[in-house]
Amino acid sequence: MKNNSKNILITGAFGGLGTATISELTKNQWHVFASDVNPTILEKYKDNKWVTPVLMDITDQSDIDKAFDVIAEQTSGLDAIINLTGILVVGSVVELPIETIQKIIDINLLGAYRTNQKFLPLIINRKGRIINISSETGWQTAAPFNGAYALSKYALEAYSDALRRELAFLDIKVIKIQPGPFKTEMTKHIEQKFAKAENESKLFKKNLAKGQTYLPGVYKNAHEPVILAKTIVQVLNSKNPKTAYSLKSDKARSFLDKIPIRWADKLIKRALS
């Protein structure tokens, strides 16, 4: 029998942001289809009546097709999709292997593209909405050694804008959330990622080493995932949500967008030399 609850699909549900978001949603009586590539998701939520765990690899279309069949058996419509999955890569855009660039685009951009495209009929049935979790990096000036992540998020921003304007003809809202640093596995391991990039670099060892001197405290000073989770609930409950929500942006990086580009270039070069 198909349920008539408020239904929502979340990708990347196993991580810290996903866990916090699911907790807030279930408090508000949403039924969550919690999808993740990590099979532990099935065990994690097996006894939660408000959560249906779904194993889904957003880089594999056949996997998404199977997940769609599972969800479509249980509900004729989705009230929302939250594309939460994302990875971070550290390294120079002249040194990273093309396979690494392809992987981050496949996950950070095309994962959302595939998911939204496949599940759109269920969104249309409920006049639901789509929330793409972007990043402050999607609108800020791109930083050295963060280019792979930046280009994936810049692309997600452009995709979200086009999607929003197209789906407006169907009265379906598309919202971007652009978080700054939050306590996730991504920020927790950023120092290790920089160290790995330094070790593998032939051209920028000194600059990557200097970059690491700014990293201590990044995770400690990052914001709690519940802040993002509550914002997502706010967006879902809002009759007229904003098109984009910038959340806890890094002040130093935001400053670089307020000064002339040449000044920003000089400051960045000096800071990493």
Q: Residue 190: enclosing H or E segment and its boundaries?
A: helix 190-200
Q: Could you tell me if 21 and 10 are in contact, meaning their C-beta atoms sit under 8 angstroms apart?
A: yes
CB atoms within 10 A of CB 201: 19
CA distances from 1 to 75, 81, 209, 224, 245 (A): 8, 22, 58, 38, 37
Q: Residue 247: enclosing H or E segment and its boundaries?
A: strand 244-247
Residue carrying the six token digits 């981050």: 104
What is the three-class DSSP state of 155? helix
Q: At what angle do helices 111-126 and 61-74 cross, to 10 degrees?
A: 20
Question: For residue 130, which phi and psi values (nearest 5 degrees)?
Answer: -120, 130
* Residue 159 annotated as catalytic: no
Amino acid letter for position 232: I
Q: Which residues contact 229 (CB under 8 A, 6 or more apart)?
A: 17, 20, 21, 23, 24, 25
Q: At what angle do helices 98-105 and 147-167 cross, to 10 degrees?
A: 30
Choosing from 45, 149, 154, 245, which is the catalytic residue?
149
Alpha helices for 28-145 (secondary structure H): 40-44, 61-74, 98-105, 111-126
Question: For residue 252, which phi and psi values (nearest 5 degrees)?
Answer: -65, -45
Catalytic residue numbers read 149
